[in-house]
Structure 1
Amino acid sequence: MKRIVLLGLVCFALSGCGDDKVTKEYLVGKWECKLDGYSSKMKDGKFTDYVNDGLNITTKEEFKIENNKLYSLKESKMDEYTLGDNSNDWKESDIIETHTGETIEKIENNSTKKSIKSLLKKSHDTYIVSEEYVTTQNSRIKAEAICTRIK
């Protein structure tokens, strides 16, 4: 009896595995993302807790697949102002390849910079994209966007 219950628990635990992966096919469609920025400083040899920078950035992004490549069309706004290149040109997207959750370390101008970029599927209609940067200049910043599918 114990084995049956144990087997049932293992099957239940494994049933959700693999469903949290963001794929090209998952991203196809229109999304609205709300971005929050955070910063932290070094104090007494430790980083302080993140503090919200008060950014109010919203992006709308659409993804499509052509010839097995992911393309995106993006529009960004901060409050009521348009940011960056909001042309109607589809650009090849490498978000899945760059946002792996791995720590990448670079040394530039005698400074070490670590970055972690990740994608996390929360549901069929929501994912989180985050980027965190830590430098030897005793600062770290983080940007996190919650993206919701537009129906």
Structure 2
Amino acid sequence: MKKIALFGLIGFILTGCGEKKVTEEMLIGDWRCNFKEQVAKWKNGLFQDYAPPIDHETSLVTYLKVDNDLFVKSPNSFRKIKQYVNKMDGSFEYSIGDMKTVGFNKLEYISDDEFKSISEIIITQNKSEDNEKTKNIMHCTRIK
């Protein structure tokens, strides 16, 4: 009987130890987000290291659900932009003519009241002096 109880307790603990993720439900509400951008220059056929991050102003954003769809809105705009959580966390690649774009988006769960979004985009083309590599980091904290 003790073994059954022990296995049950271990199973309960292990199912509760899964990695937490950013979900639509978690996002709903008001957030204070700061943005940083880093750029890597193209030189001698290679991207150089990222330059130090450039801080952009802190913004207030609201995530809301309308008819079961997730939207994001800034307080100084009436426009709502549809969001797809599954596209906020994954890689992408596409080409237009000689321009190739590859990158990824990553959502990092910090707590129920804090998350980070990291996006890296690499654009390469035949005129290599126009190649660019950019990383954007958005760190958001829930406004209570």
* TM-score bin (small chain): 0.7 to 0.9
Paired position in structure 2 for 1:128: 116
Q: Deviations over 1:56-90 (max 9, x none)?
A: 22221111223321122214xxxxxxxxxx3234x
Q: Using the aligned pairs only, state the percent identity.
A: 26
Question: Which deviations, in whole Å up to 9, do the C-alpha atoms of 1:11-57 show, x marking residues without a partner?
Answer: 877643241x1111000111010000001123455432211352322
Are residues 113 and 48 of structure 1, via their aligned partners in 2, closer, same or farther at CA, if it must alter by over 3 Å? same
Q: Which ranges in structure 1 are unaligned for 5 or more consecutive residues?
A: 76-85
Aligned to 1:16: 17
Query: Of 103, 109, 115, which aligns to 1:115?
Result: 103
Aligned length: 132
Asked whether 1:87 is paired with 2:87, we answer: no
Structure 1: distance between partners of 2:39 and 2:57: 16
* Aligned-CA RMSD value: 2.6
Q: What TM-score, normalized to structure 2?
A: 0.76
> In structure 1, what is the Cα distance between the partners aligned to 2:46 and 2:13?
40
SS of 1:88's equivalent in the other structure is: coil
Aligned to 1:72: 72
2:101 matched to 1:100? no
Larger radius of gyration: 2
* Alignment map for 1:50-69 (pairs within 5 Å): 50-69=50-69
Aligned CA distance change for structure 1 residues 72 and 135 (closer, same or farther; 3 Å): closer
TM-score computed with the length of structure 1 as normaliser = 0.73
Q: Which runs of 5+ in 2 are unaligned?
A: 1-5
